Amino acid sequence: MKTISIVVPCYNEEETINIYYDAMTKMKEEANNDGRRFDIEYWFIDDGSADKTLPILQQLQKDHSEDVHYASFSRNFGKESALYAGLNQVTGDYVAVMDVDLQDPPDMLPKMFDILEEGEYDCVGSARMDRKGENPIISFFSNSFYGVINKMSQTKIIPGARDFRLMTRQMVESIKSMTEYNRFSKGIFSWVGFKTKYLPYKNHERVAGTTSWNFWKLLKYALTGIIDFTERPLALATWFGSIFSVLSIVSFVWIIVRKLVNPMIAIDGWTSIVAIVLLIGGIQLISIGILGEYIGKIFLEVKKRPIYIIKEKK
């Protein structure tokens, strides 16, 4: 019998944990009754929750010690750290990554398992066909993000792709070998390669509780993805500098020639000069900001701090 290890990051998810476990148990029973034979190992990663998430995980592990495990961080390190911590704990033949709020449909897992069992693919991922029920502003920027990063980076990400996927051990070991501090899992899953099949599905709303993600967190996460997987913003800053340098030289030449041709002409245009200076100054500040983002990422990497710290594990 094959074992599927499931990594489940949790942050303030006291309302969803038991609902998730019951739904997964029902799915497993129905799948095995249909002839599929797989067992499940759960690794819940408590990402420094401030509610009753940890006590609920402790009780769940006590009631189902044969298949439920958990690890609790010393503080909130973020979902990316929780994913990586979970991948470092799993022991199953296949490894899945799922959200605990059931936005990742459990009934897709048996189909993912069947596809991997055929041996043609190393990973089966999921991609949302729509964003029904999601904030329209967030949906717009999310769709824009996929367009931007796929144009700027050689690492292509499927639009609407979720972290929810089932992977072979070989692929998981490759992901674990990437020990970078600044992590963007969607990009990492794609960067390591391996043959992946994506299954489309309709958007599911949370079964309970509220999401910890907001617009600014998502924007920061998107910027991390762009900076981690492309150096194009640095090239963009260089192009801006080159273009405005050429324009400045042309303008100076034009002013000198104009004055030589007609010495009596007045060199005016204070307002336009100020506008140009402000424009160029703004572009310079943006370019410095882009450079600063990359330097900041380098600073965090070279310090070699741990990606996460586990306070309790069982």
| Arithmetic mean of pLDDT, 208-218 | 60
Neighbours of 81 (CB within 10 A): 21
Listed in sequence order, the residues at least 6 apart from 272 whose beta carbon sits closer than 8 Å to its beta carbon are: none
Chain segment 165-198, per-residue pLDDT in tens:
899 999 999 989 888 888 887 778 888 888 888 8
Q: Which residue has the tokens 């292509």?
A: 156
Per the DSSP assignment, residues forming a β-bridge with 41 are 5
- The closest alpha carbon to 184, from 240, 227, 153, 233, belongs to 227
pLDDT digits 0-9 by tens, 282-294:
777 777 777 777 7
Is residue 1 predicted with pLDDT exceeding 90?
Answer: no
pTM: 0.73
Cα-based distances in Å from 128 to 64, 206, 266: 32, 14, 63
- Say if residues 237 and 292 touch (Cβ distance below 8 Å): no
Average pLDDT, the chain: 79
Q: Are 155 and 187 in contact, with CB atoms under 8 Å apart?
A: yes
CB 99 within 8 A of CB 82: no
Comparing 152 with 299, which gets the higher pLDDT? 299
Identify the CATH number of the domain defined by range 2-229+306-313: 3.90.550.10
Q: Where are the domains of the chain?
A: 2-229+306-313, 232-302
Structure tokens that stand for 211 in this block: 């999401």
